[in-house]
A and B are shown apart, each in its own frame.
Chain A
Amino acid sequence: MISATSFCGVEFGNPLILASGVWGSAASSLARAVENGAGGVTVKSLSLAPRAGHPNPTMVGTKTYFLNAVGLSNPGIEAGKEELRRYKELAAAPLIGSIFAGTADEFAQLAAAVSVSPIDLIELDLSCPNVGREFGEPFAYSAAAIGAITRQVKSATRVPVSVKLSPNAWNIAGLAAAAEAAGADAITAVNTVSGMAINVRARSPVLHNKQGGVSGPALFPLALKCVYDIYERVRIPIIGTGGVTTGEDALAMIMAGATLVGIGSAVYYRGAEVFKKIRAEMEGIMAEEGIKTLDEIRGAAHRACP
């Protein structure tokens, strides 16, 4: 049924991977996702220097959406590399090293630094919606900037590189094409979409950062459309992530064209066992529908009758 999935030459035990940001950057925490059935994990994005992130509240959960503005807190690349090394002692599943920086030079510097760790894939976080002009915004919507950063990172590392894009970009498929032309090995689609929650009795935004990134069920149909559009434009494989909460969601992501499926805020909705639950639901539907492998249905929605 669900078996190992090859992605950029890396073998994932199953296609369900922990998305960046959930469960942080500590090796023990990431390894626990693998114990709970994740086929691979993505570390919370690392920067050159440690960052404390935003004050609380940094996360809000509701039935229909999840909202966060953690503010890219992380212990910095040096301590981060130690966690990545430790992860490989605790777990066998592939490790994706997510990085973010303010300039193309810094991205390349980080990519080189993280590449000496035992990581299997680098993810470029070019699209965090929560740090305004400091990071993210200057790159998230520019094909030229994404191309330049990707090119520079590719020349600094031999580890495969996936470029993570923002669903706020109206031209996300064009941005994916720019990343591919610059040498990206994969696309991660999508980051959270910019949003806000206001407590009406407090007459105040709930997040300390005021705005944050929306994930959870509300993000799912947007993410699905982004993956669908990107699949039509590029030949490199896609990590489909954004609001996937059930096995049905995960299968839809694969039918839109994803090879790996990121699981993030579903941890909130389904608990630590989410990977096993989604996998079991996928296998249930596959059995009912006579689907033998995921390869058979990848991109199937593009071949549907008009």
Chain B
Amino acid sequence: MDSPLLLPIARVQPENAQAKTLYFDHALHSQPGQFVMAWLPGIDQKPFSVAYDNGREFGFTVFPVGPLSQALVSLQPGDRVGITGPYGHPFSVKKDRHYITIGGGYGAGPLALLAERAAAAGAQVDFCLGAKTEGLLLFAQRVKTVPNLRVHIATDDGSLGRRGYVTEILEELLLETGAQTRLIAACGPELMEKKVLDLCNEHDVECEISLERYTKCGFGVCGQCCVDPLGIRMCVEGPVVDRETANRISEFGAYHRDKSGTKIRY
């Protein structure tokens, strides 16, 4: 059940200046937006969004930010990682929607998988990608082969694509026609996501947002990732929430809780 399965890394794919995707030959049966818990004995165990899953092989993308992620990016094929999951409520995959995905930084991971699944189902996709600089963009090349998909890029320094925020691209796309069938899917820094939600409210467009909270168990018992005032668990009822739910989460864009449960303001 929810005890780690030790899986050997099948291959390691460098994605950009910092990130690597670790692939495993394992039928995870995940849906876009779900996550796994990855454990290295003696170091730590943390949640990672599934970035790739073809039914036989899955992968998740790691940015080195702390002890666990730094250890993970240094691993070689054959090294083993303790995996539990997949967990969480995913993005919807609907064939009759025009998807606009908004990914900031490593938020592009689950959105690339969503874009592939949605396009395979027959949906049209605008894939909007933002990062600080060109070297930190994720999956810009990977999604280029997806049918019925347009890529839009924004970088803070203007090194590739538009100079500015990825949400500015969304503002422009929302002015185009066809609003009834649109589904906006966002994953990235919380203040970016809040901007996406505000725009979707303003234009009355359907959206789904992946909301990350500090995760301990990952399967709904510890209460660490609950959000105010609903008390719903981002590892079970989330991380992906629809617009109505996001609007009812008063802490969204305002604060989150650290591992002690202390509130931290954005």
What is A's interface to B at a CB cutoff of 8 Å? 21-32, 35, 44, 50-53, 55-63, 66, 68, 70, 73-76, 79, 90, 197, 199, 201-202, 204, 206, 208, 265, 267-268, 271-272
- Known: A32-B230, A56-B45, A59-B217. Contact between A199 and B223, CB under 8 A? no
Q: Report which of A24, A55, A199, A272 forms a contact with B222, defined as CB distance below 8 A.
A: A24
A50 touches B3 (CB 8 A): no
A32 touches B232 (CB 8 A): yes
A26 touches B217 (CB 8 A): no
A26 touches B221 (CB 8 A): no
Across the A-B interface, the 3 shortest Cβ-Cβ residue pairs: A24-B223, A32-B231, A23-B223
- Known: A28-B226, A44-B223. Contact between A202 and B6, CB under 8 A? yes
Chain A residue numbers with a CB within 8 Å of B262 are 50, 75-76, 79
Within 8 A of A (CB), among B214-266: 216-217, 219-224, 226-233, 236, 257-263
Q: Report which of A53, A55, A61 forms a contact with B44, defined as CB distance below 8 A.
A: A55
Chain B residue numbers with a CB within 8 Å of A61 are 1-3, 219, 221
- The 8 A CB mask of B1-41 against A (1 = contact, 0 = none) is 11110100000000000000000000000000000010101
Residue of chain B at shortest CB distance from A79: B262
Residue of chain B at shortest CB distance from A205: B41
- Known: A50-B262, A208-B44. Contact between A265 and B221, CB under 8 A? yes
* Minimum Cβ distance to chain B for residue A270 (Å): 11
Chain A residue numbers with a CB within 8 Å of B178 are none
What 8 additional pairs, Cβ within 8 angstroms, besides A29-B223, A58-B222? A22-B223, A23-B223, A24-B222, A44-B223, A50-B262, A74-B261, A75-B257, A208-B45
Complex Cα spacing A216 to B210, Å:
31
Chain A residue numbers with a CB within 8 Å of B46 are 56
Chain B residue numbers with a CB within 8 Å of A26 are 223, 226, 228, 231, 257, 261
Residue of chain A at shortest CB distance from B41: A204
Chain A residue numbers with a CB within 8 Å of B2 are 59-62, 268
Complex Cα spacing A260 to B147, Å:
59
- Known: A79-B261, A199-B4. Contact between A204 and B45, CB under 8 A? no
Whether, in the assembled complex, B132 has its beta carbon less than 8 Å from a beta carbon of chain A, the answer is no
Q: Which of B44, B45, B216, B257: most chain A Cβ within 10 A?
A: B216
Complex Cα spacing A56 to B226, Å:
18
Whether, in the assembled complex, B162 has its beta carbon less than 8 Å from a beta carbon of chain A, the answer is no
Complex Cα spacing A97 to B238, Å:
28
Chain B residue numbers with a CB within 8 Å of A24 are 222-224, 226, 261
B220 touches A57 (CB 8 A): no
* Minimum Cβ distance to chain A for residue B259 (Å): 5
Chain A residue numbers with a CB within 8 Å of B257 are 26, 75
B3 touches A206 (CB 8 A): yes
A202 touches B1 (CB 8 A): no
Whether, in the assembled complex, B80 has its beta carbon less than 8 Å from a beta carbon of chain A, the answer is yes
Chain A residue numbers with a CB within 8 Å of B227 are 28
Complex Cα spacing A30 to B232, Å:
10
Whether, in the assembled complex, B189 has its beta carbon less than 8 Å from a beta carbon of chain A, the answer is no
B3 touches A60 (CB 8 A): yes
Q: Report which of B37, B42, B216 forms a contact with A70, defined as CB distance below 8 A.
A: B216
Residue of chain B at shortest CB distance from A78: B262
B44 touches A56 (CB 8 A): yes
Q: Which of B2, B216, B221, B236: most chain A Cβ within 10 A?
A: B221
Complex Cα spacing A58 to B6, Å:
17
A74 touches B220 (CB 8 A): no
Whether, in the assembled complex, B82 has its beta carbon less than 8 Å from a beta carbon of chain A, the answer is yes
Residue of chain B at shortest CB distance from A53: B259
- The 8 A CB mask of B47-89 against A (1 = contact, 0 = none) is 0000000000000000000000000000000001010000000
Chain B residue numbers with a CB within 8 Å of A51 are 260
Complex Cα spacing A139 to B5, Å:
37
Complex Cα spacing A51 to B258, Å:
10
A90 touches B259 (CB 8 A): no
- Known: A26-B228, A28-B230. Contact between A73 and B259, CB under 8 A? yes
Chain B residue numbers with a CB within 8 Å of A21 are 222
A73 touches B229 (CB 8 A): no
Complex Cα spacing A118 to B123, Å:
53
Complex Cα spacing A97 to B73, Å:
43
Complex Cα spacing A21 to B233, Å:
15
* Minimum Cβ distance to chain A for residue B48 (Å): 12
Chain A residue numbers with a CB within 8 Å of B42 are 204, 208
B263 touches A79 (CB 8 A): yes
Residue of chain B at shortest CB distance from A28: B231
* Minimum Cβ distance to chain B for residue A199 (Å): 6
Q: Report which of B82, B219, B236 forms a contact with A199, defined as CB distance below 8 A.
A: B82
B223 touches A90 (CB 8 A): no
B231 touches A31 (CB 8 A): yes
Complex Cα spacing A237 to B260, Å:
32
Complex Cα spacing A27 to B231, Å:
8
B3 touches A62 (CB 8 A): yes
Complex Cα spacing A66 to B236, Å:
18
A-B contact pairs, 27 of them (CB 8 A): A22-B222, A23-B231, A24-B261, A26-B223, A28-B229, A44-B223, A52-B258, A53-B260, A55-B45, A56-B37, A56-B46, A58-B216, A58-B217, A59-B216, A61-B2, A61-B221, A62-B2, A68-B217, A68-B221, A68-B222, A70-B222, A73-B261, A74-B260, A79-B261, A199-B3, A199-B41, A206-B82
